[in-house]
Amino acid sequence: MPESAEAPLARDSLVERRSIDVVPDSERHGKAFSQFTLWLGANLQITAVVTGALAVVFGGGPLWSIIGLLLGNLLGGAVMALHSAQGPKLGLPQMIQSRAQFGVKGAVVPLVLVILMYVGFFASGSVLAGQAVGELTHLGDTTGIVVFAAITAVMAAVGYKVIHTLGRVASVICALAFVYLGVRLLDSIDLGTVLSSDTRFDLPMFLLAVSLSASWQLAFGPYVADYSRYLPRSTSGKATFWWTLAGSGIGSQWSMTFGVLVAATSGGAFMKGQVSYVVGLGGAGLIASFLYFVIALGKLTINVLNTYGGFMSMVTSVSGFRGQRELSPRARSVYIAGIMVAGTAVALLGKDSFLTSFKDFLLFLLTFFTPWSAINLVDYYLISRERYDLPALSDPNGRYGAWRWDAITVYGVGIVAQLPFLVTHFYTGPLVAPLGGADISWIIGLLVPAVLYFFLARRNTAHIPGGEPQEKSGDSPNAVATPHP
């Protein structure tokens, strides 16, 4: 079928046809504001509430926990939003861009860890959503987890359009529910007393709060451009950045602040059943059923993102070795089913030790994704200056090669540099005690690889496109050369 007939069909179809291939200009659509509704809906959800609550559960005071979470959401959110701004310019999923830094095959190094992240987030989300679905259906947590996982997989298989529709619906319904829950909570507590109950500044606890929210935001980095890549190429980079940051920052801080206040006033009841306690704040009967539905809806939004992102990362990993650019609907379903099965298995195995496991999981992820973010952003904005040779991203014999050992080495150094400063349940670095127990590993993980990669990449510029002009049609660009946002 000629492209002129095929393009409108692809644009109008509900089921997505694209995977890791470039989205041509003829199929681009939407406004930058869509990033606000998507990321607001994705963050107004129960796992973000739990993340905020962890800052108090592990010893922080309410006031400084809220401030620390805000700082982490702003810092991590800015990094995440810089990744989002890449989508409209390149028309590619986020992680395939890593081939420009790590090589067509070398990109598998961070990709393996990204896939583990998606499975982990799928599992953690399924634990909490499974509780809500189990209450709604009266079938119990285990059945709730399985049902929720199946619904997630179907929506991820449909793809991009249904994901953004889901985000718009969730942003409205979840915002209304959180307003209601917030009013109910504030009606039952004395906010001034809660915030003034423990105003001492504890640096380790403050940095834990910063790390929790920063890791929450940074974990979106490996897939955030997946959901902006269909925007028209002319979409402002600044608009994409600010709408993404606003949606993710407001949604996550709103949820996390609610979590702090719940954890500080629950007297330990929150730890016994996160979903049931939050629903209990809202009331019983039909109201409780609605709130269980809202919790499931919020988790469905983010879990579909995790499943879709995991699918993209798996295809990117395999295609780097097979030279594959397009994917059949059957293969797409197989990849997504694999993520669903793995994530559901982890959810069922870990549902009884959720809080401690989730906190360690977040901080563990941060160790591996801050170096990737640093390398990707330095290369895109400072070294390549937003110019990538797109066909070469699929050619191991092309400009970017199969393996770029300089970037892989910097990535490894970035991981190792964090270990002395890392604090988790199963490992504490030797330099943590001199810092009073503070975890600053994520700061090291951003700065060290960013500086190292900047100087190494400037010395070897063979991978940088030589200033080829941007294609006017945009349907099959060889390089993208756009001004800095």
Q: Over the stretch 93-121, which tens digit does the pLDDT of each residue have?
A: 888 888 899 998 888 888 888 788 778 77
Q: Which of 29-43, 344-358, 419-433 has the lowest mean pLDDT?
A: 344-358
Q: What is the pLDDT of residue 462?
A: 67
Number of domain units in the chain: 1
Task: Identify whether 4 is part of a domain.
Answer: no
Give the dihedral of Cα atoms 246, 251, 257, 258; nearest 10 deg. 160
- Give the list of residues 6+ apart from residue 254 with CB closer than 8 angstroms, or none: 43, 44, 178
Backbone angles phi, psi at 93, to 5 degrees: -60, 160
Q: Which of 41-45, 258-262, 431-435 has the lowest mean pLDDT?
A: 431-435
CATH code of the domain in which 261 resides: 1.10.4160.10
Give mean pLDDT, residues 460-478.
Answer: 51
Between 96 and 483, residue with greater pLDDT: 96
- Given a cut of 70, whether residue 4 has pLDDT beyond it is no
Q: What is the largest CA-CA distance in the chain?
A: 69
Between 485 and 403, residue with greater pLDDT: 403
Q: What is the pLDDT of residue 472?
A: 37
Task: Identify whether 315 is part of a domain.
Answer: yes
Q: What is the pLDDT of residue 72?
A: 94
Task: Identify whether 286 is part of a domain.
Answer: yes
Separation of alpha carbons 265 and 53, rounded Å: 11
- Give the list of residues 6+ apart from residue 351 with CB closer than 8 angstroms, or none: 127, 130, 141, 145
Question: How confident is residue 361, by pLDDT bands cut at 50, 70 and 90?
Answer: low
Question: How confident is residue 171, by pLDDT bands cut at 50, 70 and 90?
Answer: very high
Q: Over the stretch 181-226, which tens digit does the pLDDT of each residue have?
A: 999 999 988 899 989 888 888 888 898 899 889 888 988 888 899 8
Task: Identify whether 455 is part of a domain.
Answer: no
Give the dihedral of Cα atoms 96, 308, 115, 480; nearest 10 deg. 10
Question: How confident is residue 172, by pLDDT bands cut at 50, 70 and 90?
Answer: very high
Question: How confident is residue 326, by pLDDT bands cut at 50, 70 and 90?
Answer: low
Question: How confident is residue 255, by pLDDT bands cut at 50, 70 and 90?
Answer: very high
Domain carrying residue 95: 31-367
Q: Over the stretch 395-414, which tens digit does the pLDDT of each residue have?
A: 888 888 889 999 999 999 99
Q: What is the pLDDT of residue 2?
A: 44
- Given a cut of 90, whether residue 12 has pLDDT beyond it is no
Task: Identify whether 430 is part of a domain.
Answer: no
Q: What angle do CA 277, 258, 290 make, to 5 degrees?
A: 50
Task: Identify whether 467 is part of a domain.
Answer: no
Could you list the beta-strand ranges (E) of 55-192: none
Task: Identify whether 484 is part of a domain.
Answer: no
Task: Identify whether 188 is part of a domain.
Answer: yes
